Amino acid sequence: AQSVTQLDSHVSVSEGTPVLLRCNYSSSYSPSLFWYVQHPNKGLQLLLKYTSAATLVKGINGFEAEFKKSETSFHLTKPSAHMSDAAEYFCVVSERGRGGGNKLTFGTGTQLKVEL
Amino acid sequence: EAQVTQNPRYLITVTGKKLTVTCSQNMNHEYMSWYRQDPGLGLRQIYYSMNVEVTDKGDVPEGYKVSRKEKRNFPLILESPSPNQTSLYFCASSFSGTGDYNEQFFGPGTRLTVL
């Protein structure tokens, strides 16, 4: 069975400093991995996805993530935080479910706070 | 504009009063799904549908029903709501339920309160 662990429920950074949101996963097969962002009172928006083409994945708004199979990690980073990055971030793993379709498993989320 | 829409966005109801939350997508997606989001638990899948007339249970299906009579619509039905179904609900769709390119597009959410 697949699972996702987001290691920090809250992360606080200063504007202009790097962001690191940590995610570890467990999967029986080669998974697809995603990061979604949820701004207050909004739906979820895809930031980036890993589908085995390249281990370093670039997403929107300057975010990127590196897939490390040996560490079963898919940490999300950004070199310089902006106030507009304040949101909740979800790491998601996808693999084939019992019904044949893809099953998504969400992490519990990391709330990112950006301070002046 | 390509989107997933949900209605209503906010709903306060009482225990036992049947309700339906509608979900519609205009992207001709085969796959649709319902999730509930609760603090500290992330999103958990309630039901999903691989295509018209094909639905299956997710991780937390108890107390919910769904139907998929048309490709674009996937309503969520609570026959007898209870307070533990107070939550934020999201509908999502993707082009296909299989394969690597299964990015899901999410609706804006429905905040349900059951008193």
For every residue of A56-106, DSSP letters joined together read EEE-GGG-EEEEETTTTEEEEEESS--GGG-EEEEEEEEEE-TTSSEEEEE
Q: Is the pLDDT of residue A47 over 90?
A: yes
Q: Distance (Å) from the C-alpha of residue A53 to the closest C-alpha of chain B? A: 10
CB atoms near residue A47 (< 10 Å): 22
Q: Is the pLDDT of residue B102 over 80?
A: no
Tell me the chain A residues in contact with residue B107 when contact means C-beta distances shorter than 8 Å: 43
Q: A88: nearest CA in chain B?
A: B42
Query: Mean pLDDT score of chain A, rounded to an integer?
Result: 90
Amino acid letter, residue A47 = L
Picking from B115, B108, B107, the residue whose alpha carbon sits closest to that of residue B86 is B115
Q: Is the pLDDT of residue B100 over 70?
A: no
Amino acid letter, residue B83 = P
Q: Is the pLDDT of residue A100 over 90?
A: no
Q: Distance (Å) from the C-alpha of residue B99 to the closest C-alpha of chain A? A: 8
Average pLDDT over every residue of A5-20: 97
pLDDT in the model for residue A91: 96
- The 10s digit of each residue's pLDDT in B59-75 is 899 999 999 999 999 99
- The answer to whether the CB atoms of B100 and A46 lie below 8 A apart is no
Average pLDDT over every residue of A2-21: 95
Tell me the chain B residues in contact with residue A3 when contact means C-beta distances shorter than 8 Å: none
- The 10s digit of each residue's pLDDT in A76-87 is 999 999 999 999
pLDDT in the model for residue A97: 64
d(CA B69, CA B30): 12
Q: Decide: helix, strand or coil at residue B85.
A: helix
Q: Is the pLDDT of residue A34 over 70?
A: yes
- A56-89 burial, b if ≥16 CB within 10 A, otherwise e? ebebeeebbbebeeeeebbbbebeebeeebbbbb
